[in-house]
Structure 1
Amino acid sequence: MTYTVFVDGQEGTTGLKIFDYLSAIPNIEVLRIDADKRKDAEERSKLLNEADLVFLCLPDSAAKESAALVKNDKTKIINTSTAFRTDKDWTFGLPEIKKQRELLRTATRVTVPGCHATGFILTVRPLIDAGILSKDYPITCYSVTGYSGAGRSGIEEYENSSLSLAAAKQLNVPRHYALKGDHKHIPEMLLYSGLQHEPLFTPIKANYAQGIAMTIPLLSRLLPKKASARQVHEVLAAYYESERFVRVMPFDSEAYLDGGQFKITECNDTNRVEIFVFGQNDHINIIARYDNLGKGSSGAAIQNMNLMLGFEEEGGLVW
């Protein structure tokens, strides 16, 4: 059976990447809108209601407007923006969380997790479910990401060859942002991790295109039963042992480092998440690495589409 798919927001970073994925998946007919009609509500409404499945690759307000234009019971929607991520009427698109895959197979409204939230939830949720991490643990975390995570504006900023020397120098060093603790991914990080309190989250943007490392440090003495780094690793490894796209790497994985230094971009151009656990004495360091344009965005959208349409979950994806 052939399904019709429409990407609303086809010119953005996420939309373009989704088109690349769709080209490798059989039984998909992609509906396209003429460039001069992209803001024509009537034409967009026609395509939104004609499609079997729609990807919304739009800013929050525009995504809400497009979702409201769907007036039938047939069209399934996958949203890639922050809109709807904590909406109880939408299914959160992270299949690797227990029982979530079953919900996604029958869902008609799915919202893709944010890139930072993906690594955070995949790391924290299993530890809370297992009682290794208490729900009121005062979690801090930081995430280093390539500039493509900021979308087209981020890419244009960093790849602008006409920048002054002073401006270019500012882009050559990592830059912390959302320092007031108001990053837009925090609500979903809180809701789907199982925590009782918001994490203290610091995102960091750096001068490379793509790849993300979400780091969560823990102190053994503050954990229930003072769980060790090895015990944390065992819980995560057991939770994901049957998952194709989430791999828990060998404990204290010195062999995967580069002279003791972590390699952020090793999962680029895949839909894979690799979780590392390092630890010594009281200190535990967990790092999840993945492609912010893959499992952190467009790849996750395609994985959800496959589940919603009854395809093989890994179809068109690289692991």
Structure 2
Amino acid sequence: MAPKVFIDGEHGTTGLQIVSRLQDRNDIDLMSMPAEQRRDADVRTKFLREADVAILCLPDDAAREAVALAADAGTRFIDASTAHRSNPDWAFGFAELSPAQAKRIAGAQFVSNPGCYSTGAIALIAPLVASGLLPVDYPVTVNAVSGYTGGGKQMIAQMEDETRDDAIRAAYFAYALTLAHKHVPEIMTHTGISRRPIFTPAVGRFAQGMLVNVPLHLNLMTGSPSMADIHAALKAHYGDGSVVEVVSLDETAGLARLDPEEMTGTDRMKLYVCGKEGAGQVNLVASLDNLGKGASGAAVQNLNLMIGA
């Protein structure tokens, strides 16, 4: 019998993307609540408890409530909210985090889907900490720009409807100016860094895609590594690059610019080591689709691991 999969919050931005990835599959039974019953708590509870896997595309409090309603029924969860990303009892849904992470996800009842910005930041930082090249107390800075779909339906409406009085007119804007973005705790938890990073996110007037930058001073790293050393550490961690590709130094050196929409429509991620050998600095860049590997694509990857697909 095909596993039953219920998307709680299927009509939101992330949920709709997950539905589009799953709706034509015949190896799962995709459950969907009738639109007129979406606000019926009893019906929702029934769906949650009958599902083999529930994917939560909800605000944090609603996600916690969903888990409380059905965890005792044996329902397995993939939570796309922030609620459980730093909880050690939940498997963090970034399969490439370590050699053992995919196996942990596959056997877990509770899986937390990473945030989009943090996916890029963790992908760049965690292997360098694990290899010993990046001290855990290094003063990390993360600068990033995302497509506006990461802001959900309200921001999408603001960006795409120029007739609205509250439409955002800027081509690009920075936010989280208090340096207290919700992704910071999970970045610290899943990279192992001990000093709170300075994280400055921004949104551009493009729908999907993102670039996450982590600039580093090499003389503040263990042994003052070269660009080649850093590239080798990332390459060794991600192997064949089937999901996370570490772009060669030669290819990167030939680029004049990086396009945040490069990976739009994919569920993969590219990592670049930028700079000039011998200059003492590098800029590490992750390029991904904020709704692909940064959200819905990651959720489906985690689902596949959990059901053995």
Q: Could you tell me how far apart the structure 2 residues matched to 1:39 and 1:91 are?
A: 29
Count of residues in Structure 1 that have an aligned counterpart in Structure 2: 306
Question: Are residue 41 (structure 1) and residue 2 (structure 2) matched?
Answer: no
Aligned to 1:263: 259
Q: CA deviation at 1:137?
A: 0.3
Equivalences for residues 156-195 of structure 1 within 5 A: 156-163=157-164, 171-195=169-193
User: Aligned letter for 1:162?
Assistant: T
Q: CA deviation at 1:254?
A: 4.2
Q: Could you tell me how far apart the structure 2 residues matched to 1:72 and 1:129 are?
A: 36
Aligned to 1:316: none
Q: CA deviation at 1:3?
A: 1.1
Residue 228 of structure 1 contacts residue 284 of structure 1 at CA under 8 Å; is this kept in 2? no
User: Aligned letter for 1:44?
Assistant: R
Residue 252 of structure 2 contacts residue 273 of structure 2 at CA under 8 Å; is this kept in 1? no
Q: Could you tell me how far apart the structure 1 residues matched to 2:36 and 2:24 are?
A: 27
Aligned to 1:232: 230
* SS of alignment partner, residue 275 of structure 2: strand
* SS of alignment partner, residue 223 of structure 2: helix
Identity of counterpart residues, as a percentage?
A: 40
Aligned to 1:209: 207
Q: Could you tell me how far apart the structure 2 residues matched to 1:264 and 1:77 are?
A: 31
Q: Could you tell me how far apart the structure 2 residues matched to 1:79 and 1:112 are?
A: 6
Aligned to 2:55: 55
User: Aligned letter for 1:194?
Assistant: G
Question: Are residue 116 (structure 1) and residue 117 (structure 2) matched?
Answer: yes
Equivalences for residues 1-319 of structure 1 within 5 A: 1-98=1-98, 99-163=100-164, 171-251=169-249, 253-254=251-252, 257=255, 260-280=256-276, 281-311=279-309
> What is the aligned-residue RMSD (CA, Å)?
1.4
Residue deviations 1:11-55 (CA, integer Å, cap 9, x gap): 100000000110243311111112122121100000001111111
Q: Could you tell me how far apart the structure 2 residues matched to 1:161 and 1:187 are?
A: 35
Q: CA deviation at 1:73?
A: 4.1
Residue 149 of structure 1 contacts residue 293 of structure 1 at CA under 8 Å; is this kept in 2? yes
Residue 96 of structure 1 contacts residue 243 of structure 1 at CA under 8 Å; is this kept in 2? no
Residue 252 of structure 2 contacts residue 272 of structure 2 at CA under 8 Å; is this kept in 1? no
* SS of alignment partner, residue 185 of structure 2: helix
* SS of alignment partner, residue 266 of structure 1: coil
Residue 277 of structure 1 contacts residue 284 of structure 1 at CA under 8 Å; is this kept in 2? yes
TM value normalised by structure 1: 0.92
Q: CA deviation at 1:64?
A: 1.0
Q: Could you tell me how far apart the structure 2 residues matched to 1:179 and 1:5 are?
A: 38
Is there any run of 5+ residues in structure 2 with no aligned partner, and where? none
Q: Could you tell me how far apart the structure 2 residues matched to 1:134 and 1:71 are?
A: 38
Is there any run of 5+ residues in structure 1 with no aligned partner, and where? 312-319
TM value normalised by structure 2: 0.95
User: Aligned letter for 1:277?
Assistant: V
